[in-house]
Structure 1
Amino acid sequence: MITLAALLLAAANPVCAAPAPLAEPWTSWRQSGQAKAGILAQGAPALILGKPLTADLTPAAHVQFPVVLGKGAKEGHGGLFSLSLKQAARVGIALSGPAWVDVVTGNAVVASVAHGHGPDCSGIRKIVWFDLPAGRHIVQVAGAKDRSIHIMAADATANQPL
């Protein structure tokens, strides 16, 4: 007899026969560059909108995060990335695994405007959206269980009809 708990668990962790097709702005998610996440904001590798990276992380205790992290985020692994925008945009940061993600502009954390999961079987575990002004930002990833993570920044309006 199948229990309700078993059905809920199966729905939360689908068995994937094939990768799910991805819609814009995530169509390039399965491509990948390589990087080592920064431990300092200065010199942190750049995230380029629409270009995913598989990034090696560092034990979070060794990363000099520009803003104090929330409870539990100093555990596990983390790293820093830069993100430069020519104009203001709603930007989604997608991660392949469980971790905290914050965007820092100047000396302040930017509040997220939405968050959720990627499509089932896509490899995107979470997407956090931020309304960002033009300029340079730091993306901090913290509390990751794994030593590497797939990360991508995307503009919400990428390839959308005018």
Structure 2
Amino acid sequence: MRSSALLVLVLLTSTSAWAAEEPSGCDKFKWNIDHARAALTAPDRTKLSSGSELGAMPSTGVTIALVAPADAKLPTPPERAPKDGTFAGFAKFPAVPKAGSYTLSLSKGAWVDLVQDGHFLKPTAFSGATDCDGIRKTVKFELSASPFVLQISGVRENSISLVVQPSE
């Protein structure tokens, strides 16, 4: 009986901790998301298929069509294995105009691997919230002025919108 009560207590507290990590509402992001949200919901987003190579850094958001992970042919195995029933894809981006901090914003929950010069880049910061129309997650990276590959996996739907912008 005591072990059952302990198990219930552990499950309740771990659920609360998980919920605390997932704030709800647009005002719960750690930094201003207005520009990213506008780009992610703009009607003129560039539409790409997985594996596309962009000729220039887009000034608007892009929407990538995703496929099953086995069909995605990601250039580098993702750092986190995709779950069954999810979608994945990638796009090759040209060099950013100048080295510095850039924010990648996503319309949906996803695992992101950013590969530059043959190495996975580690995020310098991230923020996310549920129940904010058009945006779910933002991740900051330090980019050098060289091309990079953005790999997306673990998405529950077959497309995702994203935008890469200089960090504010």
Q: Deviations over 1:75-124 (max 9, x none)?
A: 41111112221310211111111111111012211111011116963421
Alignment of 1:1-162 (within 5 A): 12-13=23-24, 22-24=33-35, 26-32=37-43, 33-39=45-51, 43-45=52-54, 48=57, 50-73=59-82, 75=84, 76-84=86-94, 85-117=96-128, 121-157=132-168
Identify unmatched segments of 5+ residues in structure 1. Answer: 15-20, 158-162
Q: Deviations over 1:54-81 (max 9, x none)?
A: 2211111112222221333264111111
Alpha carbons 1:45, 1:80 under 8 Å: kept: no
Alpha carbons 2:24, 2:130 under 8 Å: kept: no
Alpha carbons 1:99, 1:142 under 8 Å: kept: yes
Hey, which of these two has a bigger chunk of strand by percent? 1
Name the CA shift for 1:63/1:47 in 2 (closer, same or farther; >3 Å): farther
Q: Which amino acid aligns with 1:114?
A: A
Bigger mean CA deviation after superposition, 57-66 or 43-52? 43-52
Name the CA shift for 1:38/1:115 in 2 (closer, same or farther; >3 Å): same
CA displacement at 1:152 relative to structure 2: 1.0
RMSD of Structure 2 on Structure 1 (CA): 3.1
Name the CA shift for 1:49/1:118 in 2 (closer, same or farther; >3 Å): farther
Q: Deviations over 1:10-56 (max 9, x none)?
A: x9455xxxxxx9534554332142423324xxx43467354112221
Hey, which of these two has a bigger chunk of helix by percent? 2
Alignment length (residue pairs): 143
* TM-score, normalised via structure 1 length: 0.72
Name the CA shift for 1:49/1:56 in 2 (closer, same or farther; >3 Å): same
Q: Which runs of 4+ in 1 moved over 6 A?
A: none
SS in 2 for 1:58: coil
Identify unmatched segments of 5+ residues in structure 2. Answer: 1-14, 26-31
Alpha carbons 1:26, 1:50 under 8 Å: kept: no
CA distance in 2, matches of 1:150, 1:135: 23
